[in-house]
Amino acid sequence: MYFVTSPYVIKSLSKRNLCWKIRTDEKNIYLTFDDGPIPEITPWVLNILEQYKAKATFFCVGDNIKKNPAIFNQLVQAGHTVGNHSYNHLSGWNYLSKNYLENIGKCEDHLDSGLFRPPYGKITPTQILRLRYRKYTIVLWSVLSGDFDQKITPEKCLHNVINNTRKGSIVVFHDSLKAKENLFFALPRFLEYFANKGYAFKELTKEVCAKKPSFYKSSFGNK
């Protein structure tokens, strides 16, 4: 089970420690891609992003960087930012904080980033505090495409992102084999839809994430 948009109560309780959305009056969307780099997927994503002059943030799995260093270098050279997604795509709920942080540190050996996204969004309060002590910015999301869900249609995946994305939204896709069918259908159509409405696609940085959103003001209707 997963939520396309994160429940208000979870965001409001954790907004001081986690970045869910970017506060902005500009028509900016923050695209993110999890789980790569993958040879069959990531180069295609980079090509589509280039067509729309879009920048994005790739939350990379350390083991995939080790296996595919040329593709990782390609996305960095294209001007995208990278974030840590642990070395082995670990759920923080299943590991002691010590082991979890060691795995994150192992991923950091392969990239230089102060951004971290917990795989599955699963992380404990203790892990959050220890990562923040180490100066990580922990990034979650506003909109989850569900592209990894092979039980939904590509059209449903596209509906998820178009109907829920607003100014400042952090949107999650996956450059993974599991997401391929939904991703290949939804991503170019998503980019075209919002580009035609005058939106720009921006990369995340620690400074951008420091612009905390207000969850007490509805952003609906701001497309």
pLDDT per residue as tens digits for the range 74-133: 999 999 999 999 999 999 999 999 999 999 999 999 999 999 999 999 999 999 999 999
CATH architecture for residues 8-209 = Alpha-Beta Barrel (3.20)
Strand partners, 18: 138
* CA–CA dist 166, 143 (Å, integer): 9
Strand partners, 24: none
* CA–CA dist 66, 8 (Å, integer): 37
Residue linked to tokens 């002059």: 53
Which residues form the catalytic set?
34, 174
* CA–CA dist 223, 208 (Å, integer): 20
User: Global pTM?
Assistant: 0.90
Cα–Cα nearest to 42, from 64, 20, 63: 64
What are the two backbone dihedrals, phi and then psi, of residue 144, each rounded to the nearest 5 degrees? -105, 115
41-84 pLDDT tens trace:
999 999 999 999 999 999 999 999 999 999 999 999 999 999 99
Spans of all domains in the chain: 8-209
Contact, 191 vs 201, CB < 8 A? yes
